Amino acid sequence: MTLIKVETEEALRRTIYTTPIIDNHAHPLLNSGSITKYPLLSISTEAHGDAINATQTSLAHLRAVKQLSAILGCEATWEAVSAAVGAKRAGNYEAWVRRCLSGIETVLVDDGFSNSAEVEPYNHFDRFARSPSKRIVRIEHVAAEIIDQIWTKFKSADDAFGAVTESFQEAILQSIDDPEVVGFKSVICYRTGLAIPKKMDVEAATGAFRRIFEQRESGLIKKFTRVDHAGLNEYLVHHLAKLIRDSPDPHKKPIQFHTGLGDNEITLTKSSPAHLQDFIREYSTVPIVLLHASYPYMREAGYLATVYANVYADIGEVFPAVSRDGQEAVIRQILELCPYSKILWSTDGHWFPETYLLAVEQVREVLHTILSDYVHKEDLTWAQAAHLVEDIFFNNSNKLYKLGLDLRPLIPEAEADIVTSGNGNIQLLTKFLRGKEEPRFLRVYWNDMTAMPRVRAIPIRQVWSMLRSGEEFSFGVTTASLGLLQNDTLAAGVSPSGEYKLHPDLGTLRPGPRKGHITVRGDFKEMDGSAVSLCPRSLLKRTLDKAAHHGLAFVLGFEIELVFMRRVQDQRKYESLDGDGHAWSVGRAMEHEGAASILEEAIEQLDAAGVYIDMVHPESANGQYEVILPKAPALEAVDTLLYTRDIISSCATAKGFRMTLHPKPFAMACGTAAHVHMSISTPNGSDRNVYEPFYAGILKHLRAVVAFTYSSSASYERVQDGCWAGGTWVTWGTQNRETPLRKIEGSHWELKCMDGMANAYLALSAVLLAGIEGVARQDKLAWADCKDDPATLSAEERDRLNVQARLPRSISEALEALQEDKQMCGLLGRDLVERYVAVKSAETGILETMEDEERRQWVMERY
């Protein structure tokens, strides 16, 4: 089961970036006294010696430079990156290591290095990862230490070999019993190759040891450091496998084999995992992990992991040692055959923390690319892609190594975006722009109390300058911004003094709405960094946090109803499109040259941005259409709603038309709403004991809630009975479009009493808070299922259904209902309610002084 319900590309992206990683194979970091002894160039290559210098022109190196420069805030040159890394070492190096290892749950450490005095102990990683690290025992290192300790104590090679075998067996058995050891590793690939014979050859091992002993006797070897002897290496691997197989513990600790990719000590032709087939068959109960994707023998690794139950394919080290295309090819080739339940991931991080950083950054990028492609080709669903991510990153290693860890997201789900600050913002912007033309402006949007989309547009050079300088990435905006009317006058009690900080949320980056611009949503914060109580988007975040405390999360799906109008330039007004028999879902309405071209271009832009529209169909009035958005977690859904409206509006404007959300643009035609489908996405959401109190809470407070969902004088022109608009009575009904709440199935209900003039952050906060309170208080769904239009029922029939209250008939009445609902005011915050009422009262005063046509045009100019 995935941590969150995943039904969109954005939700998959969040899963990829918030799933913690079990690094199933890595090496220690160099200690402070040794870090300058080794070349930093090795972070993206297995080359060494003279060959390492040429790697600066490799695709893997150039990509690493670009990524590190973005994170470090320096120029994209190796010299600048090296200097910046040096500065990190000289400064708060521990903080830098923590940044490099962020996102890693635990590290399984092969600490079998001969230069142990130069590296940190394996549990050094405990200071940076969320869960304690564990050991992987490298058997060649164990054997070399034993041989060096024992061989001088015997005059007979055979006696020495017997003692070595006995000590090796004892050491392995101790490791099998040691809870700090979760597996073993062999580097026989480096030594004699992977063609291990099917059966143990004791005679060959004894002969190899005799030759070693003779070299010691003749003085050719004084200190034994390396088992690199045909016969002996294979014997040690067999001995290990037999001890694991014969262990009484039902959990068998895996053996990791280095395969494929390595430095020039490897004989490449002997590094294919295909050579291990006989060995794999011989020890069918011993788990075997093929490390490093077996590059370039990826298909062989995938094949073996597919046809043998005890074999697993690791896809580490190719990140970052191989180019982006190569990494994509690695994963695609392994997935050609291999079930993703048999795939593990590792950094193969070593010596430098930057190796971990690059590996994690690159695997997330590549998985997003590949999995999105598979979903678009319909080879996977979004949910299956998310499950794959969680298995490869966490579940498979957790199970194989018996770690007993809980899969906890790196950030709370309720926040619904990647926590970013400082260098994290540089990363997000760099990733987003990769492969795209550099934009001219970053737009940072917020929605005020009148639901006006307001914006700051920052030249992209200034954005980069701020991010790389390390200064706070925010922009000063007057506190009056949340008390302005549409004509920039202030509501009563609002002062022009004071300033908020507008913080761009780069987790919401999207292209557009016009060429050369990119867009994000922003949150207001006080000067001390705390959330602004009046900020609508922050209110929705707080609401979702509260929901999470009650074990609730939500998926929302919006329907955008809109009308295209033609601009009459000389008269400065809008007029309706010629209808040509326009009617609900009629086919010819999709042929209107203006409307069709707007929708086609907008949907093309939305597709490019990862917003995949479910459906478009004509509505009843001339130029009226409905655009159905994909379902998404609540905050993402609202962000996407506003972004989609911006895109469609921009496309209409560019073609000389106007997109309007006016709730009732034509007196004698159907109105325009913004229906929202809601589901409780947590596992218990389908339980009637959960969703009925939730919707009971909404109905209980609905007269107050509509002050936010029907937020304008114009909204109430649409609130009529018999028009499929949700009617005027407070009630619900199964598949009844004449009730403000339509039950569809289980916890999936539709809220019909909302239009496009509502601030969606405020409106959904009010709706969800009322429902959450209903769950907390276990409110009873006192209203019976209304199967008919409530307006057509007699008073007695409505009483039987407990249909007693009507929705407010004006914004003034709705604002009064809000102020009278003390519980709702407390949930929303009295300061916010007071400000909202002041703004809406002032707005209403302006609109009520206008004649009908003047008010209609005024609204369409702004919404």
Distance, CA of 662 to CA of 676 (rounded, Å): 17
Band of pLDDT at residue 668, cut at 50, 70 and 90: low
Which of the residue ranges 41-55, 183-197, 430-444, 736-750 would you say has the lowest mean pLDDT? Answer: 41-55
CB contact at 8 A, 70 and 426: yes
Q: Is the separation of the CB atoms in 209 and 161 below 8 Å?
A: yes
- Rounded CA-CA distance 575/564 in Å is 9
In the prediction, which pLDDT does 853 show? 84
Per residue in 309-319, pLDDT (tens digit) is 999 999 988 88
> What's the pLDDT score for residue 665?
79
Under the phi-then-psi rule, with left for phi > 0, alpha for psi from -120 to 50, and beta for the rest, what region is 616? beta
Q: What phi and psi, each to the nearest 5 degrees, are found at residue 745?
A: -165, 130
Strand-pair category, 453-459 with 441-447: antiparallel
Tell me: pLDDT of 744 over 80: yes
Cβ–Cβ under 8 Å, residues 747 and 685: yes
**How many degrees, rounded to 5, is the angle at CA 788 between CA 786 and CA 794?**
90
Which residues sit opposite 625 in a β-bridge? 562, 618
State the CB neighbour count (10 A cutoff) for residue 733: 23
Annotate 49-96 with DSSP letters as a single string.
Answer: GGGGGGGGGSHHHHHHHHHHHHHHTS-SSHHHHHHHHHHHHHS-HHHH
Segments in 659-789 forming alpha helices (H): 688-700, 702-709, 760-777
pLDDT on residue 394: 95
Alpha carbon distance 396, 389 (integer Å): 10
How distant, in Å, are the alpha carbons of 53, 81, 351, 418, 750 from that of 41? 8, 11, 12, 30, 57
Give which of 354, 322, 314, 318 is closest to 101, Cα–Cα: 354
Residue carrying the six token digits 């009445």: 813
Q: How much is the pLDDT for 617?
A: 82
CB atoms within 10 A of CB 456: 16
| DSSP states of 571-620 | GTEEEEPP-SS--TT-GGGGG-HHHHHHHHHHHHHHHHTT----EEEE-S
| Closest by Cα among 509, 440, 452, 445 to 477 | 445
Task: Name which of 656, 660, 695 is nearest 780 in CA terms.
Answer: 695
Q: How confident is the model at residue 147 (pLDDT cuts 50, 70, 90)?
A: confident
Question: What was the pLDDT predicted at 414?
Answer: 33
Residue 103 region by backbone torsions, left for phi larger than 0, else alpha for psi between -120 and 50, else beta:
left
User: Contact at 8 Å (CB) between 565 and 575?
Assistant: yes
- Measured CA distances, 577 to 515, 564, 573, 651, 840 (Å): 27, 7, 13, 16, 31
pLDDT at 553: 84
Torsions phi, psi of 799, nearest 5?
A: -60, -40
- In angstroms, the CA 358 to CA 351 distance is 13
Q: Are 647 and 428 in contact (CB under 8 A)?
A: no
CA dist list (Å): 295 to 292, 391, 444: 6, 21, 44
SS3 746: coil
Tokens of 110: 């092969």
Question: Distance between CA atoms of 710 and 694, rounded to whole angstroms?
Answer: 21
How much is the pLDDT for 439?
A: 86
* Residue from 640, 641, 592 nearest 756 by CA: 641
Average pLDDT of the segment spanning 246-270: 90
Percentage of residues of the chain with pLDDT beyond 90? 40
Are the C-beta atoms of 445 and 427 separated by less than 8 Å? no
Q: Residue ranges of the alpha helices (H) in 434-584?
A: 460-469, 536-549
Question: How far, in Å, CA of 276 to CA of 294, rounded?
Answer: 12
What pLDDT, in 10s, does the model give residues 615-657? Answer: 888 787 777 788 899 988 888 899 999 999 999 989 888 888 8
pLDDT band at 398 (very low <50, low <70, confident <90, very high): very high
Pairing of strands 615-618, 624-628: antiparallel
Which domains does the chain show, CATH number per domain? 9-400 (3.20.20.140), 423-538 (3.10.20.70), 542-862 (3.30.590.10)
Rounded to 10 degrees, the C-alpha dihedral 748/752/755/760 comes to -30
User: How many other CB atoms sit within 10 Å of the CB of residue 113?
Assistant: 15
Q: What is the pLDDT of residues 527-582, one digit of tens each?
A: 877 888 999 999 998 898 888 778 888 889 999 888 888 877 666 687 777 767 77
**Letter string b/e over residues 8-27, b meaning 16 or more CB atoms within 10 A of that residue's CB:** bbbbbbbbbbbbbbbbbbbb
Kindly state the average pLDDT of the residues 804-811. 90
Task: Find which of 327-336, 368-377, 406-415, 478-487 is predicted with most confidence, using mean pLDDT.
Answer: 327-336
pLDDT at 412: 41
First to last CA, the chain: 42
The residue-averaged pLDDT of 118-146 equals 89
Q: How far is CA 230 from CA 234, 339, 560, in A?
A: 7, 35, 71
Over its C-alpha atoms, the chain yields an Rg (Å, rounded) of 33
pLDDT at 425 over 80: no
Dihedral sign (CA 577, 578, 583, 585): negative
Could you give the maximum distance between any two Cα atoms of the chain, in Å? 113
pLDDT confidence band for 138 (50 / 70 / 90) = very high
One-letter amino acid at 604 equals: E
Is residue 47 pLDDT above 80, yes or no?
A: no
Instruction: Give burial (CB, 10 Å; 0-12/13-18/19+) of 202.
Output: middle
C-alpha–C-alpha distance, residues 187 and 136, integer Å: 12
DSSP classification of residue 30: B
Residues 6+ apart with CB under 8 A from 104: 20, 21, 22, 23, 128, 129, 130, 347, 356, 360
User: Of the ranges 187-201, 275-289, 356-370, 631-645, which is most confident?
Assistant: 275-289
pLDDT value of residue 579 = 66
* Amino acid at position 98, single letter: R
H-run or E-run covering 301: helix 298-307
Please return the burial class of 129, using the count of CB atoms within 10 Å of its CB with bins 0-12, 13-18 and 19+. buried
Q: Specify the range with the lowest mean pLDDT, choosing from 286-290, 382-386, 618-622.
A: 618-622
Closest CA to 318 of 392, 257, 259: 259
pLDDT of residue 419 exceeding 50, the answer is no
- Bond preceding residue 439 cis, omega within 30 of 0: no
Cα 76 from Cα 61, distance rounded (Å): 11
For 364-368, what is the mean pLDDT?
A: 91
Parallel, antiparallel or unpaired: strands 632-633 and 255-257: unpaired
Does residue 417 carry a pLDDT above 50?
no
Separation CA 372–CA 382 (nearest Å): 8
256 pLDDT more than 70: yes
Q: How many CB atoms lie within 10 A of CB 174?
A: 11
Residues in CB range of 361: below 8 A, 6 or more apart: 67, 427
Q: Which residues contact 416 (CB under 8 A, 6 or more apart)?
A: 14, 544, 633, 634, 635, 636
pLDDT score, position 585? 67
In contact, 110 and 125? CB cutoff 8 Å: no
Alpha carbon distance 429, 442 (integer Å): 10
553 neighbors 633 (Cβ within 8 angstroms): yes
Task: Identify whether the C-beta of residue 804 lies closer than 8 Å to the C-beta of residue 719.
Answer: no
The 10s digit of each residue's pLDDT in 835-844 is: 999 999 999 9
Q: Collapsing DSSP states into helix, strand and coil, what is residue 310?
A: coil
At which residue do the structure tokens 């009630």 appear? 731
């940044």: which residue's tokens?
A: 99
